[in-house]
Structure 1
Amino acid sequence: MEPVRREKPGIPRPSLPLKGGVVLLLTAAGASSRFGRAPKALVRIGGKTVLQAALEPFLDIPDLSGVLITYPESLLEEFREALVPALKEKLERLPCGLRFLPGGASRQASVALGLEGLIEAGRAASLDLASLAVLIHDAARPWVDAATVSSVLETTRDKGACLPLSDLPDTPKLVDTAGFVSGHPERSGIKAAQTPQGFALLSLAAAHSLAAEESWSCTDDTALWDRYLGPVAYVPGNRNNRKITYPEDLGMAGSNDSTLRIGEGWDIHPLVAGRRLLLAGKQIPHDKGESGHSDGDVLWHSIIDALLGAAGLGDIGSHFPPSDPAWKDADSSVLARRIAQKIGRLGWTLLNLDCTVILERPAVKPHREAILASIAATLGIDKERVSVKAKTMEGFGAVGSGDAVEARAVVLLSRR
């Protein structure tokens, strides 16, 4: 049914053409329920995250003034790390900078929050808000091309609202609730909507506010514009500008990314008097213990590095810097649990963990089962997935002289 257009005096009509800058709202706050694993924006394709791939075609816009990314609650750190440092630094130098904002209960709610965040940023940067255009793009569309972006933006500035439309590959049908075909529309008159979609920023934000007041919902911002402001222009879309909805959509890109990742970790700590000797949180009776900024647990530190390495998340020092007093004497079991939860939120499952402790004395064997149980409980996995071996250095080096302890770990991760 055609949307009922209800122009309201409270909605500012855009003054065309829009001659100001452009801001980008990248929507990535969805639950990815149909995808069935980690947020789609955090999956890697072609050596980069989907989030970064979806963002890069917008970087060459001459008047780009800022970027705001919506993300699922509690995943701010993961989304910040999904962009390489050089890209983040470049975006942070824009007038409105780079912002991350937790999304709402629906896409419409997330967009409304994002628009308000961009208006706030534009106001803080003393931009002419009435002349600003906003491009709204689904982060799950990493194959958008710069030509489509440019075409949408140019038409938005001239018409006030625009989206790219692509031809349907199949013949559309209308259906009823009884399970029968109720209509046979002409394929030539029906198109598939894509993003980015462009709008006059203030007008769209006002339309979103009114829709919220009236409890009117839609899945597409152009439907909202059409209801409250008027017709929406369109430009030809690109068939390659697909949206990732199901895992098999990644295969359409010819991605060769493996679902298995191996990580290796290694650490060594001096043994000194007055410290506890800890291995995966279990205290081993001894007259010396590990020296370190945290509790010095050498086995946990090697395991944490292995987990981070396999997930492509750096090393332990980048997450828990030794220069930060917050981690002074920190319990490494807590740090390990945090990292395990982090990689779990990213869709990784720990399949296997193989550890080796190199310690001249005391013997590790009497404590092996307790160490295994501690690792399994902390990481939330079965003991059968964990192996702990012990070696000596036969008197060689600092470990052999009893002045140090060393640990190595290898992990195998898979995507859920």
Structure 2
Amino acid sequence: MSTAAIIVAAGRGTRAGGDLPKQWQMLAGRRVADWTLERFSIPQIGHVVLVLHPEDREAWNEFADKPLILAPGGSDRAASVRNGLAALDGLGITKVLIHDVARPCVSRELIMSVLNALDTHRAAAPGLPVTDALWSGSEGHVTGTRDRAGLFAAQTPQGFHYDDIRTAHAAHPDDAADDVEVARAAGISVAIVPGEPDNLKITRAGDFARAERILRQDMDVRLGNGYDVHRFGPGDHVMLCGVRVPHDRGLQGHSDADVGMHAVTDALYGALAEGDIGRHFPPSDPQWKGAASEIFLRHAVDLAARRGYTVSNIDCTLVCEYPKIGPHALAMQQEMARIMGIDATRVSVKATTSERLGFTGRGEGIAALATACLVRP
């Protein structure tokens, strides 16, 4: 694919406050950078370059195995963009979008508007007409007014033909307000596409609250539930939520009979309207005999990710008289979180009895119920 996006994430963002640079701070359940990267995960963009500060070692390690191109940040924003452009050398890129990581609320519609404008223009960028009165000021007092006619508030992503903007940056070694300034200095005409009021740039601490309101109002939230049962049979342990729990009997099933993990997996499939485990891993297929249930859970999580969803939280209840779940609940919580790639605080594993009623009360087996919440911006 000949189109690429460069996400500039090497700044320190000190005005935003907090102990971390703003791109690594939490926003509506995810980091700012995670929201921004997700917005550019569209078929029309073949390569994404993430420009990172050299000292953000954890980020370098985390993203090393992701489908991203990593580039080091420079001494200023323009230098970081030049490094991002250089990272695309030799990939046959014809169009490139350059975006600030601190704009996580950008819509895919705006991204496509900029891309489409490059079909007929050498460069394009979103802008919002200035509608408020403009003042000049000094020492907390108004000192004058300014004419707002013809003024626009600049936004990103800003789009360019790759060869044009790379040549322009090479001829403009100094820092610049944005890449439009660099392009215009090289004589490149930049078309204005309508910007979006919600495409704010997080700059100060108060911007996080506004960005969260925007992201939450646009979220696609899906819930699913799962239920599974396995009877006891011969054995010396049971597998429950990925943990081997010693017991004088085992659970019977085509796979490893992990009733808790099966319920969670079915809850995820249910949220996606994708049936249950049997649809994706038929028990009639001998290759799944004795299989680790982790395979099924990972498949459900990956299927959700391919559709743009993240796992917000999981709640699983195990119903049995024995074995006792309490001593193993924390290990189950951590193992389920590891498999799904989410924080352990987003996974609940608890247990109850059926007051000696029914098949679980008679000690004939274990049941599990689960609820899954998926979120997509």
Q: TM exceeds 0.5?
A: yes
Partner of residue 225, structure 1 = 183
Please, what TM-score do these two structures have when normalized by structure 1? 0.54
Choose the corresponding residue for 1:119, options 67, 89, 95: 89
Name the counterpart of 1:23.
3
Q: CA deviation at 1:145?
A: 7.6
Within a 5 Å distance, the mapping from 1:17-416 to structure 2 comes to 23-25=3-5, 27=7, 31=23, 33=25, 35=27, 37-39=29-31, 50-51=39-40, 55=42, 67-70=46-49, 74=62, 100-102=68-70, 104-105=72-73, 111-122=81-92, 132-136=94-98, 140-142=105-107, 143-144=109-110, 149-156=115-122, 161-174=123-136, 179=140, 184-208=145-169, 216-218=174-176, 220-226=178-184, 230-240=186-196, 242-245=198-201, 246=208, 248-249=210-211, 255=217, 257=219, 262-268=223-229, 273=234, 276-280=237-241, 281=243, 283-289=245-251, 296-303=257-264, 305-306=266-267, 350=313, 353-357=315-319, 363-364=321-322, 367-376=324-333, 380-381=344-345, 386-391=349-354, 394=358, 405-411=366-372
Give yes or no for contact 1:136–1:197 (8 Å, CA) kept in 2.
yes
Cα distance change, pair 369–162 in 1 and its aligned pair in 2 (3 A): closer
Deviations 1:274-310 (A, max 9, x none): 56313342514224345566x6532234335546866
Q: What is the CA deviation profile of residues 321-377 of structure 1, one whole-angstrom value per residue up to 9, with x for unaligned ones? A: 999x9xx97696xx89xx7xx99xx98664x7341336xxxx42x613224344456
Inter-partner Cα distance in structure 2 for 1:309 and 1:197: 39
Aligned residue identity for 2:162: L
Alpha-carbon separation, structure 1, partners of 2:373 and 2:117: 45
| Structure number with higher relative contact order (C-alpha < 8 Å, ≥ 6 residues apart) | 1
One-letter code of the match for 2:250? K
Count of aligned positions? 319
Give 3-state SS (helix, strand or coil) of 1:154's partner.
Answer: coil
Specify whether residues 257 and 116 from structure 1 end up closer, same or farther in structure 2 by C-alpha distance, changes over 3 A only. same
Q: Is the 8 A contact 2:4 2:49 kept in 1?
A: no
Q: Deviations over 1:200-223 (max 9, x none)?
A: 423423554677xx6x44452123
Q: Note if contact 2:27-2:212 (Cα within 8 Å) is conserved in structure 1.
A: no
- Residue identity opposite 2:324 in structure 1: H
Kindly tell me: are residues 113 and 247 of structure 1, through their superposed partners in 2, closer, same or farther at Cα, counting changes over 3 Å? farther
Percent identity of equivalent pairs: 19
2:367 & 2:216 partners in 1: Cα distance?
42
1:152 and 1:164 in contact (8 A); partners too = no
Instruction: For 1:105 and 1:321, locate their aligned partners in 2 and report how far apart those are by CA, in whole Å.
Output: 45
Distance 1:76 1:219, change over 3 A: farther
Q: 1:147 to 1:51 in 2, by over 3 A?
A: closer
By how many angstroms is 1:168 displaced? 0.8
Contact 1:277-1:288 at 8 Å conserved across structures: yes
Q: TM-score, normalised by structure 2?
A: 0.59
Report the aligned-residue RMSD: 5.4
CA 1:273/1:248 → structure 2, altered by over 3 Å: closer, same or farther?
Answer: same
Give, in whole Å, the separation in 1 of the partners of 2:34 and 2:346: 27
